[in-house]
Structure 1
Amino acid sequence: MPINKVFYRFLLLAFSLNLVGCVTGDSAPDDYIRDDTPDAIPANEPLSRYGNMPSYTVRGKTYHVLKSSNGFTQKGIASWYGTKFHGRKTSSGEPYNMYAMTAAHKTLPLPTYVEVTHTGNGRKVILKVNDRGPFHEGRVIDLSYAAARKLGISATGTGPVSLRVINTSALDLKTSEVVLPEEINTGGKIHVQVAAMGSESAAEKMAGNLRDKKIPSVRVHVIENDGKKLYRVRIGPIPNVDLAYQVINELNEIGLDKARVIVD
């Protein structure tokens, strides 16, 4: 048998054994109480080198990895995994970090960014899918411990969720000349807020710097609270949340790491 096929079979076997091991003996960390870990920031990333074989088999069941995740939605039960696998390699080759906002899914390409909503309490998180699992019947996604805390299911172990894929290829500010429209979907106007300042001159300077970088629809919004004015540097309105997170990713790449999505 050619060496490349032998190596591939070895990797597939090791991968499958690792997934089977993700079932028992897990636990939560003793010293972690935060429920406000920042969401993952969606990025337009290439497929990982590992974990994206066309199909794989666990416990006699074969799973087929999706060629594209665009438009994917799903409902079911979420579970979580913690200390037992902290620091071990995920299916994508990245080390598992139970304090990061990540998840495992059986068929989504690695990596994929998803918005997960707890259908019982309405909480939402943005996660990076970089691992395979869970392989219990009826479970659709395995969350990092931090994600489980933030969604409110770490104590119960599982919870009902819906998930949708975030399209990270929708916008690239470095190459696109897209002008963001003023009219957007119902449910409030979506903006990316880059900063909020007490100084009008500082806010206008930041807005000017962003315009110099060819970032469209940059404005300074002024609000008054308790007699004090606050100058908010914002980008938008933006048509949808997917585009908003892509804008945030581009801002992070130029050193602006405090931006957040605002809907009002």
Structure 2
Amino acid sequence: MNSFQAILIAIIEGLTEYLPVSSTAHMVFMSSYFGIQEDDFVKLFQVSIQFGAILAVVALYWKKFFDFSKFSFFIKLACAVIPALILGKLFDDAIEAVLGNPIPIAIVLIVGGIVLLFIDSKFQKPTILKEEDITIKKAVTIGFWQCLAMMPGTSRSAASIIGGMQQGLSRHAAAEFSFFLAVPTMLAVTCYSVFLKTYEASQMKGYELILKSDEHIQLFLLGNVVAFVVAILAIKFFIEIIKQYGFKPWGWYRIVVGTFLLLYFSFLK
């Protein structure tokens, strides 16, 4: 993987991580189209640049994350992330197996798009307009909804936002809580991938792969910086879109992209 390819992956990560469109599906296609070899470092890179996207949320909502007087906010996030931590560890190998087959990822992308077309009409009377009114029980329930994203192509953002709206949150509140929940969730995945996971081909830990060469270090830093900047822009854009148009545009986008990916990997590749 060269610098140009690293920047492309980071742009895709920053653009799609917080949008309900599945960053995994986009990165699978891009890696295939540009011929990026799926070695251990590339697999690690695709996960580790989530750190830059995490920092984007913290930077945009820094008043929320650094207001330590409101412990209930951190308790809600801690409780909500538990389902993903447990189930993610249990199904880690199964998830990796699916990543090797883009067809089901494309199908899930399409199905998720169809669901998004009807979300706005399904949940028209929200009862919770701000994070402070979310109970721990509702936070945990949203955490379980987020686990649906363990199926690549689902979108962590889409699953947690739908879960939030099902629990009575407004579109805006559900989207923001999805952003907040992404921080501990993605931080846990990133830390596991960098410090604990041993990659099969190289038999090295993630941090060993990063420190293996100056090139790897530079790509790691470059990817996180690009993902950080792009994610900030994507979050601001997404909030404005859902305020004005809801989730239908994202539903149609998923259907179109999913259909294209299904055709590409079935007949065109």
The alignment's TM-score, normalised by the length of structure 2, stands at 0.24
Q: Between Structure 1 and Structure 2, whose CA radius of gyration is higher? A: 1
Relative to its length, the structure with more helix (as a share) is 2
